Amino acid sequence: MFKRITLFLATNLAVLALLSIVMAILQRYGISFGNNTGLLVFAAIFGFGGSLISLMTSKWMAKRSTGAYVIEQPRNESEQWLVDTVYRQAEAAGIARPEVAIYDAPEINAFATGPSRNNSLVAVSTGLLRAMNRDEAEAVLGHEVSHVANGDMVTMALIQGVLNTFVIVLSRVVGRVIDGMISGNRESSSPGFGYYIIVFVLDMVFGLFASMIAMWFSRHREFRADAGGARLAGRDKMIAALQRLSQTYGESTLPKTVQAFGISGGVGHGLRKLLMSHPPLEERIQTLRNAPVDQVRGSVVS
């Protein structure tokens, strides 16, 4: 928990520092953010800019950060099966063939990423290939192909952009109100040091709530991807794959940039659970067992 919160705070500090520098430079050249329209435009550019750049470079970043080997010419029967299975599932889901890759990691895991449904990457860990049988691995691949088919990467980028914009605007609007109350509503051509302290604190608070909202969407989309994996590979195979995943206790060595799209999730309670990108495995298994057959069949868009 401490590691997660520390990472969150460090990330926000970096973002806030960059934001302050950019705003200071623009204000120096006569661009004012004193009115809400100017602030909203700037916040939207800044808020969506990072998310869209991250989305567009997601495949490249995933390959570099995991050291993934993209299978262009299968070297053995196992790689051939992996590529054939992903291509068959992609065709069934109505998307272009993703790139298929393997990355070196001890845990059972896989992830999908990419800027669009027709430009994506599906990668599995060496730990998954060692620990899972073909039926279980097929279900995991179906789960990842479903993430792509459902447009989850684009959706999460847009949600993060909206939340970033919300945090930037609301923290500064509320910051003006609080600063005005503290200073006795005195008018000033430029905000004082106290205003920036207030905004900094509000960025932290609203940013934490924004992260909770983003992770709620992420957990919801995991249930949909599980149902998609059940449609593409079979319900029993998907349940068996999730049960096998539970043996790793949610461990993941994936970089934070792609961890939300891995199939393996963490274990947590209270506040930590609100910041988890994946629901607990027992909830996912129970949801699959209780899902009507028609719901499972209709879980992957085409």
Q: What would the pLDDT profile of 84-107 be if each residue is shown by its tens digit?
A: 999 999 999 999 999 999 999 988
Order of strands across the sheet with 99-103? Answer: 69-70, 99-103, 119-125, 110-116
| 144 labelled catalytic | yes
Residues 51-81 pLDDT 10s: 888 888 889 988 998 899 999 999 999 999 9
Q: What is the pLDDT of residues 113-130, one digit of tens each?
A: 999 999 999 999 999 999
Reported confidence tier of residue 23, pLDDT bands at 50, 70, 90: low
The predicted-structure confidence for 174-217, as pLDDT tens digits, reads as follows: 888 887 788 766 555 556 677 778 888 888 888 888 888 888 88
Catalytic residue among 107, 136, 138, 144: 144
Q: Look at the block and give the residue holding tokens 């309670």.
A: 269
Q: Provide the pLDDT for residue 75.
A: 94
CA distance 55 to 297: 29
Number of other residues whose CB lies within 10 A of the CB of residue 288: 19
pLDDT at 248: 65
Q: What does the domain layout of the chain look like in residue ranges?
A: 1-302
